[in-house]
Amino acid sequence: MSKVVDILKKVGAVITDDHFVYTSGKHGEVYINKDALYPHTKETSQVCKLMAELYKDEEVKVVVGPALGGIILSQWVAYHLSELKGKEILGVYTVKDEAGGQVFDRRGYDKLVKGKKTLVVEDLTTTGGSVRKTVESVKQAGAEVIGVCIMVNRDPDKVTDEVVGAPLKSVGIIRAEAFDEADCPFCKQKRPINTKIGHGKEYLAKKGK
């Protein structure tokens, strides 16, 4: 088991044997509750140091993460890269637009990444779709994406370099199979959906339940 998984379990961020709806809309029985990690600044820093160490020998100028969790990661990873390299590495973020993309807005962060070698960071992946949107926005801003670093890859067989649009590394792997609603075995078992964690509450509201 990787060190990052140990840290996540220590703060109670790994939940199993339940029925969750993920950000992607898919269903599964394992949930990594990143929001249980972020209040613990020491552990968050430790996780981000592990991420930064993977890129200590690469020419990174800026770290970008998608809002919301990626904001915290971009700051800490940039901080640790700055410490490792002895020079300032910037940490910025993209925000979700009305179409569900990840974009730079009026803050002007697109100007900070233009022409620079950039690392994109993300906490979790189920399909890799969210981080790909960030990669695309960073490239559109004129930056060179030298890599994508993920805290935990939930499906390393499917979430690959090709899917995210850049060379991919992760500091942890927790396999959490995700199912489309129509194929979800937990729906078929009539296992109750968790409405406190994940997107179960919104999912049931849309269903009118």
Number of neighbouring beta carbons within 10 Å of residue 102 = 26
pLDDT reported for residue 209: 67
Whether 14 shows a pLDDT value over 70: the answer reads yes
Using one digit for the tens of pLDDT, what is the confidence trace for 134-180?
999 999 999 999 999 999 998 899 999 999 999 999 999 998 888 99
The CATH number of the structural domain formed by 3-207 is 3.40.50.2020
pLDDT reported for residue 107: 93
Using one digit for the tens of pLDDT, what is the confidence trace for 20-55?
999 889 999 999 989 999 999 999 999 999 999 999
Whether 1 shows a pLDDT value over 60: the answer reads no
Number of neighbouring beta carbons within 10 Å of residue 162 = 10
CA 118 distance to own-chain centroid: 16
Q: What angle do CA 67, 69, 73 make, to 5 degrees?
A: 105
Number of neighbouring beta carbons within 10 Å of residue 79 = 18
pLDDT reported for residue 200: 95
Q: What are phi and psi of 73, to 5 degrees?
A: -65, -45
Whether 72 shows a pLDDT value over 80: the answer reads yes
Which of 188, 127, 209, 180 lies closest to 21 in space, CA to CA?
A: 180
Whether 9 shows a pLDDT value over 80: the answer reads yes
Using one digit for the tens of pLDDT, what is the confidence trace for 175-205?
888 899 999 999 999 999 999 999 999 999 9
How many residues are listed for the chain in this entry?
A: 209
pLDDT reported for residue 129: 87
